[in-house]
Structure 1
Amino acid sequence: MAGAKLINPGKPSWKKTLVRAMMVCAGSVAILLPAWLPGRSGAPIERGTVEFLQASLLAAAAAVMLGALAHAGPFRPVCRVLAFGLLAAVVGELEDFISGILGWPFPEAWIIGVILLVALVTAMKHRKAMVLFFSTLGYHAASGLIGSALLILYVFNRVVGNKRFWQASLGDAFDPNIPVICKSYLELLACYLIFIGSIGYAVTLARRPPL
């Protein structure tokens, strides 16, 4: 079966699965620890730190995919496309940091557009490998992690990061910094899940399965 070429044929182990799940959960908690520290600085400084951490996690995920290139065999184009997508996300996070926090102009739209265009051209030139990869996404746990990250970014964050949600919840105790900080930390958690998912994809693609 063609779809099984990207699946690990090794014997499954519930112990290894449990350990991996616990490590991912522990990392998800640890990544949010700065929000619980006493004596934090003002919201702009805190938000800038979180935005920088987001960009760092996405850059690390892109580096993981680029590192898998040398071992991916016929699936090198898939690694390149995923790396380009992650680099575009890095540019978006850097724009939030540079423009939103530092107040400096940053032409992120042009840079992201060029990166995504290169990714699209690469995907079209290597359609066979891309189709096989996407046909097996449902078999990999990394897809669940990245899917969760996308749900956080584009569904859950739209509610929790909305000031009207907090105004209705807190009433007179509402602070305008609350939705901003919550949104930033949720995005940080999503970036962490994308980083872990990218490691999972890189390990799978680096096994160089035959087409």
Structure 2
Amino acid sequence: MKTPEALRNKLMAGGNLNTQRNSSWSRTLVRSTLICGGAVAILLPAWLPNRGSVPIERGTVELLQAVLLAASAAVMLGASSHAGYNRPVCRVIAITLIAAFIAEIEDFLSGILKLKIPEAWVLGTILLAALVTALRNRRVMLHFISTLGNHAGSGFIGAALLIIYVFNKVIGSSKFWKASLGTSISPEIPKICKSYLELLGCYLVFVGVLGLSITLARRKEPM
């Protein structure tokens, strides 16, 4: 007979992100190659021709950022139907990604298409929905956060946040480029570097969300 404590530990292990899988150097090599190849491929808009007054590179980069965030939200929403015990986690992450998508597409709409949306109200409503969902499922969210460091996907997302909110603040600053190259630099250089670093961050978010969604969909649901 299993003791209640042993049964409880077994059930909690079923919802853990740290699931054991057979390692393979070939799979690891393929995954690493695909991730590195994607990081290089996102630089393709930089090779597009320059068209004078039309900001084609900047517009393409902004649009790609929004596409990656929308794809991340769609992946997490798709995984929620298979996540069972961790379904609220998928919903909170998906709602947060939708808010990031709205913030990114607003830059594209206002800068390229000259359209305005009430961004503050829309983002506030979406983030409030995410907060309410998290508070209503506090136990599940706390358990997810406690095991988040066991998955590589969280590392990719953490790296993306560091790039966007830390490293990008330096590389995207005109003061940094003036101190490095002097005053005779184009004012577009900091903007271009900032846009491409944000694109790299969005790509890493997509990779991390993809890994987390697969793990959450494969877990065993506690009984």
Q: Paired residue for 1:111?
A: 122
Identity %: 60
How far 1:87 moved relative to its partner?
Answer: 0.1
Looking at structure 1, the residues matched to 41 and 100 of structure 2 have their Cα atoms a distance apart, in angstroms, of 22
Q: Give the 3-state SS of the residue equivalent to 2:116 in structure 1.
A: coil
Match of 1:23 among 22, 31, 34: 34
In the alignment, structure 1 residue 145 sits paired with structure 2 residue 152: no
- The residue that corresponds to 2:4 in the other structure is none
Shift of 1:98: 1.4
Cα deviation, 1:24-76, whole Å, max 9, x if unaligned, reads 011101111221x1633347332111111100000000000011111111111
What CA distance in whole angstroms lies between the structure 2 residues aligned with 1:17 and 1:98? 39
Structure 2 residue identity aligned to 1:72? A
What is aligned with 2:56?
45
- Tell me, in whole angstroms, the C-alpha distance in 1 between the residues paired with 2:51 and 2:203: 23
1:84-137 deviations in whole A, cap 9, x for unaligned?
000000001011111233332221111111111111111111112111111111
> What TM-score comes out, normalization by structure 1 length?
0.93
Supply the AA of the counterpart residue of 1:140: H
Name which of 70, 75, 83 aligns with 2:81: 70
Take 2:61 and 2:49, find their aligned partners in 1: how far apart are those partners? 16
The 8 Å contact of residues 6 and 204 in structure 1, kept in 2 or not, is answered as yes
- Taking the TM superposition and a 5 Å limit, the aligned residue runs for 1:57-96 are 57-96=68-107
Query: Could you say which residue in structure 2 is the equivalent of 1:7?
Result: 18
1:98 lines up with 2:109 in the alignment: yes
Letter in 1 for 2:216: L
> How many Å apart are 1:145 and its aligned residue?
0.5
Measured in 1, the distance between the counterparts of 2:142 and 2:116 equals 38
Q: Which runs of 5+ in 1 are unaligned?
A: none
Query: Which residue number corresponds to residue 5 of structure 2?
Result: none
Q: Are the equivalent residues in 1 in contact too, given 2:65–2:198 (CA < 8 A)?
A: yes
Could you tell me which runs of 5 or more consecutive residues in structure 2 were left unpaired when the two chains were aligned.
Answer: 1-8
- Map 1:112-127 onto structure 2 (within 5 A): 112-127=123-138
Q: Deviation string for 1:2-26 (max 9, x for gaps)?
A: 4672222222223222221121011
CA distance, structure 2, for counterparts of residue 191 and residue 48 of structure 1: 15
Tell me how large the CA RMSD over aligned residues is: 1.6
Contact kept, 8 Å, 1:5 with 1:210, in 2: the verdict is no
Aligned to 2:199: 188
Largest Rg, 1 or 2? 2
- Answer with 77-86 or 18-27: which moved more: 18-27
Deviation at 1:207, TM superposition (A): 1.4
What SS does structure 2 have at the residue aligned with 1:72? helix
TM-score normalised over the length of structure 2:
0.88
